Chain A
Amino acid sequence: MHISTNPGIWCQAICTLAVLTYLYKDNPIWRTVESIYLGLATAYWFVYYFWSFIKPAVMDWVLVQHQWHYILAIIMGLLIFFRYVPSLSWIARYPMSYWVGYGAGYVLAYQPAVWLQQITDSFRALNTLANVLIFIGILCTLAYFFFTLAKENPVVGGIAEVGKWYIMVALGSAFGNTVLYRWNLFLGRANMLIGQWLGFNI
């Protein structure tokens, strides 16, 4: 065992242990570290985005490279801050509308091709057990979401029940994978505490 003398590692270890105290119960130590993290993260990203994108856009692209069309984009971005002026908050709707419209248009242009291939792939030859199960699963799961059909009907109700079981299996799979993912993150922290901080060779 060789405890680290690196202040960065000690900081990591103290913050990690402080956050893990929440597993026992809510306490001031965890709240303090949570607030420190939120403050640091906000400050970090503010500084990062300013120096990485805002400053180059204004100082380099416009003033040095004379790409004057960026002025329009900068003005549009600044108009959003009118949200903080109640009497003029309607001005902020213009850049927001442009932003939402551009985003929606862009998604509608490119996403359907992805979905269509998924739909095409669902039409499979029923020559293997897996393909038969996929076919049944798609139909029954879709039937579960047909809320306009009376589930009291034994045929419709039965098909929807099968669909419900497919959904439960899918959700169970998602849950299991999520649990393992969270434990893997904790394992990373455990490796840091035991390996880097306490200096054990694991």
Chain B
Amino acid sequence: MERLMKIDRRILYLVAVVVLVLVLFFPLGLPVKVSDLTQKTYNGIQNLPDGSLVIISPMYDAGSQGELMPMFVAMLYQCAERHYKIVIGNAQWAMGPQLCHPYVEKILKEQYGYQYGVDYIEFGSKPQFTVWANSALSDFPGACLTDYNNQPINQFPIIKSIPKISKEYVAATLVLDCGTPGARDWLAYVNQGTGIPLYVGEIQMSVPEMMPYVASGQYAGMIAGSRGAAEYESLIGHTGKALKSQDVMSVIALLVALYIVLGNIGYLTRKK
């Protein structure tokens, strides 16, 4: 039994990869039940007043796009269905807007006929979140200066709808977070003071850490990891990458739990 602790880790990796590939080719069709947290988040965004303006902030880079991009896409679909005005951008995460731009063009422009500068705008990535946020609270166009294509942002009609970030002009902020600065910085420097509801898309790793903010009501809602993204996709009726990956994630979770149990059996039965 002690040998269970000494299994070469490369065998464990190989077994996990083989299982993963098998489930990719032969999906199990396991049901995805929507949790209360995801339902609450979906309802909150869905029930914003007609014609609302929302800020979607993709605060992530290529390393986290596997989990957060499906959430971003789902949020775009939901906001487009409700015909919200959408402002997209962030500070200090330069890659986020670049990764999101193709999806923004494909979904908002091509599928929903959104007009750039009128119905939506991308302001790209600005340096230093705290400085940008402090400035945007009193002068949003002045804080951004240029849009994603480096054009002066003041020329676009949608900017007149958001002279500053305040509850009067912004109905909600949707932040996709994978580190610092992230949702907690939005909360501290923007949402806590203005009272604008903050909806967060969080990577799986950070979910336990962020749950106190959900419990205290500081986050109006949270999409928790890839499972949350899959639930969100099922709610908006769009089968994306997250929903397709849940069979694999379920099987992998069971396999990892089995590894832990075997390792513990080996540990507990070892000769002292």
Asked if A and B bind, the verdict is yes
Name the A residues within 8 Å of B63 (CB-CB). 185
- Among B10, B212, B216, B245, contact of A187 (Cβ-Cβ < 8 Å): B245
Stretch of A2-10, A108-116, A139-147, A158-166 at the chain-chain interface: A108-116
Contact between chains at B188 and A111 (CB < 8 Å): yes
Chain A nearest CB: distance from B244 CB in Å? Answer: 8
Chain A nearest CB: distance from B188 CB in Å? Answer: 5
Q: How far is the CA of A202 from the CA of B189 in the complex (A)?
A: 43
Cβ < 8 Å to A, chain B residues 218-272: 218, 225-226, 241, 245, 248-249, 252-253, 256
Q: How far is the CA of A55 from the CA of B256 in the complex (A)?
A: 50
- Among B134, B184, B212, B249, contact of A183 (Cβ-Cβ < 8 Å): B249
Contact between chains at B204 and A184 (CB < 8 Å): yes
Contact between chains at B216 and A181 (CB < 8 Å): no
Cβ < 8 Å to B, chain A residues 184-202: 184-188, 190-191, 194, 200, 202
Chain A nearest CB: distance from B127 CB in Å? Answer: 5
Within 8 Å of chain A (Cβ to Cβ): is B208? yes
Nearest CB in chain B to that of A114: its residue: B188
| Contacts known (A106-B130, A180-B204, A188-B66); A113 close to B192, Cβ less than 8 A | yes
- Among B25, B134, B218, contact of A202 (Cβ-Cβ < 8 Å): B25
Nearest CB in chain B to that of A170: its residue: B208
Contact between chains at B225 and A191 (CB < 8 Å): no
Name the B residues within 8 Å of A174 (CB-CB). 205, 208-209
Cβ < 8 Å to B, chain A residues 115-173: 117-118, 120-121, 170, 173
Contact between chains at B66 and A179 (CB < 8 Å): no
Task: Report the count of interface residues on A (CB-CB < 8 A).
Answer: 36
| Contacts known (A23-B13, A180-B252); A190 close to B67, Cβ less than 8 A | no
Within 8 Å of chain B (Cβ to Cβ): is A48? yes
Contact between chains at A190 and B189 (CB < 8 Å): no
Name the A residues within 8 Å of B13 (CB-CB). 23
Contact between chains at B21 and A194 (CB < 8 Å): yes
Within 8 Å of chain B (Cβ to Cβ): is A84? no
Q: How far is the CA of A179 from the CA of B215 in the complex (A)?
A: 24
| Contacts known (A177-B225, A183-B252, A190-B24); A121 close to B192, Cβ less than 8 A | no
Q: How far is the CA of A66 from the CA of B198 in the complex (A)?
A: 38
Contact between chains at B216 and A53 (CB < 8 Å): no
Name the A residues within 8 Å of B66 (CB-CB). 184-185, 187-188
Nearest first, the 10 A-B pairs at minimum CB distance are A188-B66, A121-B216, A181-B204, A181-B205, A110-B188, A178-B205, A173-B208, A184-B226, A177-B204, A202-B24
**8 A-B residue pairings within 8 Å (CB atoms):** A103-B130, A110-B189, A114-B187, A117-B218, A180-B204, A180-B249, A181-B204, A202-B25
Other A-B pairs, 10, CB within 8 Å; known A174-B209, A187-B248, A190-B21? A106-B130, A114-B188, A117-B216, A118-B212, A173-B208, A178-B205, A180-B249, A183-B256, A187-B249, A191-B24
Chain B contacts to A: CB under 8 angstroms:
10, 13, 16-17, 20-21, 24-25, 63, 65-67, 94, 125, 127, 130, 134, 184, 187-189, 192-193, 203-209, 212-213, 215-218, 225-226, 241, 245, 248-249, 252-253, 256
